Amino acid sequence: MTTGRREFLTTVSQAIGATVLLGASTSEAFAQQSAPTVGEVIDLILKTIPGAPFAKTVDTLKSGNASQKVTGIITTMFATVEVIRKAIATNVNFIIVHEPTFYNHLDETAWLEQDEVYKYKRDLLEKHNIAVWRFHDYIHSHVPDGVRMGVMKALGYEKYYDEKNPRVFTIPFLKLKDIVANAKQKLGIPTVRVIGDMDQSCQRILLLPGASGGRSHIQGIETEKPDLLIIGELSEWETAEYVRDARLKGDKLSLIVLGHAVSEEPGLEWMVPFLQPMVPGIKVTHIPTGNPFLFA
């Protein structure tokens, strides 16, 4: 091969290599440029919620900023330190949660400024530029309620869903103990709290996941006349005492308390197929928070 031809081929190879590198660089830059921001993802979600945005809501950014480009999304109940570490390990910078990040409903932090646990979590989020947005009021305002739909699907109650009365499920008669066993198996929980006769036959179920409160529970019982109320969480001096007195009065009413997180976690899992089509270039993943309690 002549020297001139060798130099020509070398020049061509270098040019091709430079073009490939430039193309890769341009593609990466374009991908970064085309990635939605946190604010844009939130706006896409809010377009599906009747009446959004709300003037008063707890669904605000708890960390990060609306202008940062999204590298990945995690949905979960709580932005625990464990979930944050998993986000860091997988290069995810946007966590969508259902419940507070900083230990109170409004995520007020002034009273925690000197607290070591708060500072550790806050600093971890800031160091890795992770945005955390709460999706509580809006998911419950979605039609249908995203949390209830997720729990309904997890429990296997889809065929009994009535869009005119979405919180009540009329199932074939089952003993309370069989409904309990199904909930434990389907939701992956070792134990639940129950008030009632385990051999009682139940057909009409009032499903109120989360912690809607004693007044909501009691008014629901009065309105719907269920055989069984399934809830996430309660104040023991409210709903539990009402059900106890109702049973002593002679009512055939039972209660299952699942636990707050496990009763709503399926709603955050429901978010994955709900959100993924809106952000086709971004991976949306659900990470269960799990139950922090041991049952000794």
User: What is the CATH classification number for the domain harbouring 96?
Assistant: 3.40.1390.30
Residue 3 pLDDT > 80, yes or no? no
23 with 46, same domain: the answer is no
Residue 85 pLDDT > 70, yes or no? yes
Question: 107-148, pLDDT tens digit by residue?
Answer: 999 999 999 999 999 999 999 999 999 999 999 999 999 999
DSSP sequence for 210-227: S---HHHHHHHHHHH--S
Residue 8 pLDDT > 70, yes or no? no
126 with 151, same domain: the answer is no
87 with 51, same domain: the answer is yes
Residue 260 known to bind ligand:
yes
- Contacts (Cβ under 8 Å, ≥6 apart) of 17: none
pLDDT the model gives residue 1: 52
The chain-wide mean pLDDT, for the chain, equals: 91
Lowest mean pLDDT among 132-141, 164-173, 286-295: 286-295
In a domain, 265, yes or no: no
pLDDT the model gives residue 25: 38
Across 228-239, average pLDDT? 97
User: What is the distance between the alpha carbons of residues 72 and 237, in angstroms, rounded to a whole number?
Assistant: 43
pLDDT the model gives residue 295: 82
Across 53-57, average pLDDT? 97
For residue 266, whether the previous peptide bond is cis, meaning omega lies within 30 degrees of 0, is no
Helix, strand, coil percentages in the chain from 3-state DSSP, rounded to 5: 45, 15, 35
If 0-12 CB within 10 Å is exposed, 13-18 middle and 19+ buried, where does residue 153 land?
Answer: middle
In a domain, 256, yes or no: yes
Residue 140 known to bind ligand:
no
- Residue with the bigger pLDDT between 29 and 191: it is 191
If 0-12 CB within 10 Å is exposed, 13-18 middle and 19+ buried, where does residue 128 land?
Answer: middle
Percentage of the residues of the chain whose pLDDT score is greater than 90:
86
Give the residue ranges of DSSP H helices in the chain: 3-34, 38-46, 81-89, 116-127, 137-141, 146-155, 176-187, 214-224, 241-249, 260-275
Q: Which residues pair with 169 in a beta bridge?
A: 205
131 with 67, same domain: the answer is yes
Residue 40 known to bind ligand:
no
Q: State the residue for tokens 């609306």.
A: 66
φ, ψ of residue 152 to 5 degrees: the values are -55, -45
Are 45 and 139 a contacting pair, CB within 8 Å?
A: no
Q: Which domain holds residue 256?
A: 146-260
50 with 25, same domain: the answer is no
| Total structural domains within the chain | 3
In a domain, 295, yes or no: no
71 with 27, same domain: the answer is no
In a domain, 160, yes or no: yes
Residue 55 pLDDT > 90, yes or no? yes
Percentage of the residues of the chain whose pLDDT score is greater than 70:
89
159 with 225, same domain: the answer is yes
In a domain, 237, yes or no: yes
Are 209 and 136 a contacting pair, CB within 8 Å?
A: no
- Nearest-5° Cα angle at 242, 240 to 247: 95
Residue 259 pLDDT > 90, yes or no? yes
- Nearest-5° Cα angle at 152, 169 to 103: 120
Among 142, 168, 193, residue at a domain's last position: 142
169 with 209, same domain: the answer is yes
120 with 92, same domain: the answer is yes
Among 142, 173, 204, residue at a domain's last position: 142
Question: 173-186, pLDDT tens digit by residue?
Answer: 999 999 999 999 99
103 with 151, same domain: the answer is no
In a domain, 64, yes or no: yes
Q: Report the phi/psi class of residue 190: left, alpha or beta, with left for phi > 0 and alpha for psi in -120 to 50.
A: alpha
In a domain, 282, yes or no: no
In a domain, 287, yes or no: no
> In the numeric block, which tokens belong to residue 68?
């940062």
pLDDT the model gives residue 33: 57
156 with 234, same domain: the answer is yes
pLDDT the model gives residue 21: 38
pLDDT the model gives residue 26: 31
pLDDT the model gives residue 134: 99
